Amino acid sequence: MNHILIVGGTGHVGRLIATRILATGAASLHLGGRDMTKATHLARKLGCAATHVDLNDPASWDKALMGIDTVITCIDAPDADFARTVLTGGLRYIDISATDAVLRRIEDLDPLARENGGLAVLSVGLAPGLSTLLAEAACVGFDSVDLLRIHVLLSGGDAHGAAAIDWTLDNLRDLSPGEIERLRPGSDVPEVLSIPFDFADQHVLRRQGHTNAATRLALISPLITRSSLRLMATLARRPIGRRLLHWSLSHLRIGSDRAAVAVQLRGRIEGQDVERWRLLDGRREAEITAAVAVFVTLALAGRTDCGVHHINELWTLDDLAPLLRDEGISLLPTET
């Protein structure tokens, strides 16, 4: 049986992953966290074990990893030391981070992982993850690509954990009027405003040869206007404003819980100019991330790969078609 440790298991996404893994009955699960009171309470509620693990305390790692086959990390690690320890032990390591600096540090461990028989999978979630797979699938058939944009659409009515809200606020920056663009990727999607955003997928795709890749964020909410977007970016840099935004995003859910990724391509196919859109349309961003993490976790049990890989280096979007169907995520193609 696969013995799994979820680091950050008491957080929003960690709980969702734990619930889904336990529902499969295919693994023994250990819920890892810094606060053992909190971890033990949740573990008893879910019916699994609790483990003390603190990424800032290396003394807690060896005991936490004892008997473990797979580690799922749901929080941004301050450095690559924990991942290095996991891969040196020849274990499997999955990271759901959307921060490129975190992923780059783990990428650098590829030689060590290969030497010790360890395997890491990065870009696991909605974005990066499904966004990366969708971008690669959309590029198939193009002779050249002049524009590759990934648009991540999130809704004001969805539930987001504290860490995800902090990450979003950390990455909001001052916006010029020209950076705010109108977007409508499909007839069933309302027109929204999108802004440049530092999701890791664009950086990963550039390192993989897609030099034109760029990612933008669009918030589906009746409260989002050009003025409110610029105000949010300003408030996120001020302590009082940031606390207000954090409270609002945590407690005020207005609209649907829709979560989508749209990929926009412009290029040439057989000498003809082509613009192509691909849209993955679903609900509840955190649930989608959890579903992708569980897919990867279970799929790794049958693989013998070593090294550090992003999700699109081991699977294609077609490989995840059953997951998309089960989660009610539709894939909509359009081409002009």
Q: What is the pLDDT of residues 198-215, one digit of tens each?
A: 999 999 999 999 999 999
Question: β-pairing, 330-335 with 144-155?
Answer: unpaired
Amino acid 189: pLDDT: 67
One-letter amino acid of 104: R
Shared-domain flag, residues 277 and 310: no
Mean pLDDT to the nearest integer, 170-191: 76
Count of CB atoms situated within 10 Å of the CB of 1:
9
DSSP state string for 287-301: HHHHHHHHHHHHHHT
For residue 14, the domain's CATH number is 3.40.50.720
Which two three-digit tokens encode residue 57? 């305390």
pLDDT of residue 255 exceeding 90, the answer is: no
Shared-domain flag, residues 9 and 99: yes
Amino acid 156: pLDDT: 67
Element containing residue 69 per DSSP (H, E): none
Shared-domain flag, residues 279 and 149: yes
Shared-domain flag, residues 93 and 235: no
Amino acid 253: pLDDT: 62
Structural domain count, the chain:
2
Mean pLDDT to the nearest integer, 215-239: 80
74-120 residue pLDDT tens: 999 999 999 999 999 999 999 999 999 999 999 999 999 999 999 99
Give the number of C-alpha atoms closer than 13 A to the C-alpha of residue 286, restricted to the C-beta side: 20
**In this structure, are residues 97 and 74 in contact, taking their beta carbons and an 8 Å threshold?**
no
Work out the angle at residue 178's Cα, subtended by the Cα atoms of residues 174 and 179, and round it to the nearest 5 degrees: 50
Shared-domain flag, residues 243 and 318: no
For helices 200-207 and 131-139, the axis angle rounded to 10 degrees is: 40
Q: Can you name the residues that pair with 153 across neighbouring β-strands?
A: 218, 260
Shared-domain flag, residues 21 and 131: no
Shared-domain flag, residues 179 and 267: yes
Count of CB atoms situated within 10 Å of the CB of 328:
10
Domain hosting residue 63, numbered range: 2-125+286-333
Distance (Å, rounded) from C-alpha 16 to C-alpha 11?
A: 9
* Share of residues in the chain with pLDDT > 90 (%): 64
Which two three-digit tokens encode residue 64? 């936490």
Shared-domain flag, residues 32 and 156: no
Shared-domain flag, residues 195 and 241: yes
For residue 218, the domain's CATH number is 3.30.360.10
Burial zone of 232 (CB within 10 Å; 0-12 exposed, 13-18 middle, 19+ buried): buried
Shared-domain flag, residues 203 and 313: no
Mean pLDDT to the nearest integer, 293-297: 96
Shared-domain flag, residues 165 and 69: no
Mean pLDDT of the chain: 89
Shared-domain flag, residues 233 and 296: no
